[in-house]
């Protein structure tokens, strides 16, 4: 599966901070904001990642992230000409996606909690339909909202409804199968002037191919799109790192652990092949 980090937009809610620098390059405690969504894709086992930016900001991202090779990744940089929503960004990435399954994460989103990596790995194994990550919030009217029945199935999905049918917000992390681009081509521009990801999710829902992963108690979903949220996220990261003594969203550490696990798996596979060959000889 490929990955896309959406780091375009003007960051108007963070003015004047973002008048001179892209929102996703701002610090969240001791790392640039964009490190956190990249770390989520890497934890999912995804190593081929497109960074979607504006034309004016792209050189800064290239200076910061380079080719991705230092973390065992391959980064590709794609320009979104106008901030017209996630659907518009998907079409800008059509050549990169190339009819492959893809995970998309907003550049100001971050997730943290026990057992998150297995959930991400499972999501990245998706080969049919779409999967959204949902999180219970006190103010669902600010988000896309998923109505989920007692069986854990998605019944409906709405964008910023006045009267939400549930408290489950659809977070900025999505996993899609290889039909994504063809579906994105069919959606229409909303009254907000954007090609909404909710319309794409509705298309999957209508086809019976939308599922949800609910992040319950013990998980944190951080959206760093406002001054308050940016401060809270930085304080959260500081607390975790100081109390527990390890880094959050350390791309080098994630890369090294992935390489170590891959080496271990390869050794096990080599031993199995060796035993199999010996058995054949016997």
Average pLDDT over residues 11-39: 96
Please indicate, yes or no, if residue 255 is contained in any of the structural domains: no
* pLDDT tens-digit series, residues 52-70: 999 999 999 999 999 999 9
Residue ranges making up the domain that contains 179: 2-249
Of 98, 59, 269, give the one whose Cα is nearest residue 180: 98
- The pLDDT value recorded for residue 83 is 87
Q: Does residue 9 carry a pLDDT above 90? A: no
How many Å is the maximal CA-CA distance in the chain?
Answer: 74
pLDDT at 139 over 90: yes
pLDDT tens per residue, range 20-31? 999 999 999 999
Q: Hey, what are 273's tokens?
A: 């092949």
* Structural domain contains residue 19: yes
Burial degree of 278 (CB within 10 A; 0-12, 13-18, 19+): exposed
Share of the chain above pLDDT 90, in %: 84
On whether residue 282 sits in a domain, the answer given is no
Residue 10: predicted pLDDT: 85
Q: What is the pLDDT of residue 271?
A: 57
Check if the beta carbon of residue 134 is closer than 8 Å to that of residue 157.
Answer: no
Residue 175's φ and ψ, nearest 5 degrees, are -120, 130
Give the pLDDT score at 47: 97
The per-residue pLDDT of the chain, averaged, comes to 92
Higher pLDDT among residues 277 and 256, named by residue: 256
Average pLDDT over residues 105-133: 96
Residue 223's pLDDT band, with cuts at 50, 70 and 90, is: confident
Classify residue 41: in a domain, yes or no.
yes
Residue 149, helix vs strand vs coil: coil
Q: Is the pLDDT of residue 277 over 50?
A: no
Is the backbone of residue 118 left (phi > 0), alpha (psi -120 to 50) or beta? alpha
Say how far apart CA 181 and CA 176 lie, in whole Å: 10
- Domain membership of residue 103 (yes or no) is yes
> pTM of this prediction?
0.92
Run of H or E residues at 35: helix 35-43
**pLDDT at 234 > cutoff 70:** yes
How many separate domains does the chain show? 1
* 258 found inside a domain: no
Residue 219, pLDDT above cutoff 90: yes
| Domain CATH for 205 | 3.90.550.10
pLDDT, residue 166, reads 97
Classify residue 139: in a domain, yes or no.
yes
Could you list the beta-strand ranges (E) of the chain: 2-6, 27-28, 31-32, 48-53, 74-79, 102-106, 109-112, 130-136, 144-148, 154-159, 168-176, 210-215, 220-223
Average pLDDT over residues 106-129: 96
Predicted confidence (pLDDT) at residue 281 exceeds the cutoff of 80: no
- Residue 231 falls within a domain, yes or no? yes
Q: For residue 15, which phi and psi values (nearest 5 degrees)?
A: -65, 140
**Mean pLDDT score, 259-266:** 70
Higher pLDDT, 78 or 82: 78
């Amino acid at each position: 599966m490929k990955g896309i980090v959406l780091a375009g937009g003007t960051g108007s809610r963070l003015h004047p901070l973002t008048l001179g620098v892209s929102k996703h390059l701002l610090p969240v405690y001791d790392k640039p904001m964009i490190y956190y969504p990249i770390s989520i894709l890497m934890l999912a086992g995804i190593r081929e990642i497109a960074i979607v930016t504006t034309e004016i900001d792209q050189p800064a991202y290239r200076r910061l992230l380079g080719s991705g090779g230092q973390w065992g990744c391959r980064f590709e940089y794609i320009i979104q000409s106008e901030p017209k929503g996630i659907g518009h960004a998907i079409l800008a990435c059509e050549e990169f996606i190339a009819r492959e399954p893809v995970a998309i994460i907003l550049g100001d989103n971050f997730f943290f909690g026990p057992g998150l990596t297995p959930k991400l790995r499972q999501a990245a194994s998706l080969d049919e339909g779409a999967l959204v990550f949902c999180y219970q919030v006190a103010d669902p009217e600010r988000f896309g909202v998923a109505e989920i029945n007692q069986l854990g199935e998605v019944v409906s999905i709405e964008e910023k409804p006045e009267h939400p049918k549930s408290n489950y917000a659809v977070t900025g992390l999505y996993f899609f199968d290889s039909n994504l681009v063809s579906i994105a081509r069919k959606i229409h521009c909303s009254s907000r002037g954007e090609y909404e990801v909710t319309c794409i999710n509705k298309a999957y829902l209508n086809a019976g191919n939308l599922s949800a992963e609910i992040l319950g108690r013990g998980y944190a979903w951080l959206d760093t799109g406002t001054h308050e949220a940016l401060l809270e996220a930085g304080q959260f990261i500081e607390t975790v790192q100081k109390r527990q003594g390890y880094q959050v969203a350390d791309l080098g550490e994630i890369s090294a652990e992935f390489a170590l696990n891959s080496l271990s798996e390869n050794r096990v596979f080599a031993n199995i092949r060796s035993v199999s060959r010996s058995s054949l000889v016997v």
